[in-house]
C-alpha cells in the first residue's frame, strides 16, 4: 500500500509547476496587455496635446517656424515617424500670407503605436489628430515661446 502512494506522488511531481507555467503565461500576457492599452491611451492623449501645442505655436510664431515641429516631436520622440502638416488657412483661398491668414490647422497623421505584448505583437495605427485655431500675431519677434 505504501509503495502505491509513493508511485502516485512520483507521477504528480511536476504537475503543479506545469499548471503554474500555463496560468502564469496567460496571466502575464493579460497583465502586460492591460498596461499596453494604458500606454496606447497615453500616446493618444500625447498626440492630441501635440497638435494643440503645434496650433498654439503656429498662431503666435512666424509662419512655417521650425520650432513648431521641433516642440511637437519633443512631446513624444516616437512621433518622428509621424507626419506633421501645418496649414495656414484663408477660407476662400487655398493658402495665405501672414497678413491674410484667418486660421491655422495642425495635423498629426500616419502614426502607428507598436505594442510589446508577449506572444501578441501588434501595430495599432492611430487616427489623424488635428487642431484649428484662429490667427493671432503670427510674429516671433519678442515672443519667448518661439525661440
Distance CA 80, CA 76 (A): 8
Distance CA 82, CA 70 (A): 13
Which is it for the CA torsion 24, 27, 30, 32, positive or negative?
A: negative
pTM, two decimals, is 0.77
Q: What is the pLDDT along the chain (147 residues), one digit of tens a residue?
A: 566 666 666 677 778 888 999 999 899 988 988 999 999 999 999 999 999 999 999 988 888 788 898 999 898 888 887 889 998 888 766 677 777 888 899 999 999 988 887 777 889 899 999 999 998 887 888 778 887
Query: Can you read off the three cell numbers belonging to residue 2?
Result: 505504501
Nearby residues of 89 by Cβ (< 8 Å), 6 or more positions away: 95, 96, 101, 102, 103, 104, 105, 132
Query: Can you read off the three cell numbers belonging to residue 16?
Result: 503543479
- With left for phi above 0 and alpha for psi between -120 and 50, is residue 71 left, alpha or beta? alpha
pLDDT at 89: 86
Amino acid at each position: 500500500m505504501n509503495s502505491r502512494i509513493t508511485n502516485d506522488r512520483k507521477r504528480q511531481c511536476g504537475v503543479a509547476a506545469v499548471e503554474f507555467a500555463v496560468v502564469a503565461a496567460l496571466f502575464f500576457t493579460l497583465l502586460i496587455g492591460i498596461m499596453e492599452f494604458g500606454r496606447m491611451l497615453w500616446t493618444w492623449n500625447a498626440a492630441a496635446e501635440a497638435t494643440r501645442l503645434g496650433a498654439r505655436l503656429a498662431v503666435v510664431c512666424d509662419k512655417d517656424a521650425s520650432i513648431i515641429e521641433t516642440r511637437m516631436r519633443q512631446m513624444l520622440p516616437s512621433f518622428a515617424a509621424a507626419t506633421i502638416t501645418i496649414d495656414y488657412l484663408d477660407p476662400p483661398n487655398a493658402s495665405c500670407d501672414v497678413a491674410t491668414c484667418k486660421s491655422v490647422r495642425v495635423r498629426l497623421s500616419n502614426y502607428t503605436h507598436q505594442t510589446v505584448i508577449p506572444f501578441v505583437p501588434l501595430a495599432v495605427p492611430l487616427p489623424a489628430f488635428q487642431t484649428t485655431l484662429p490667427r493671432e500675431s503670427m510674429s516671433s519677434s519678442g515672443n519667448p515661446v518661439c525661440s
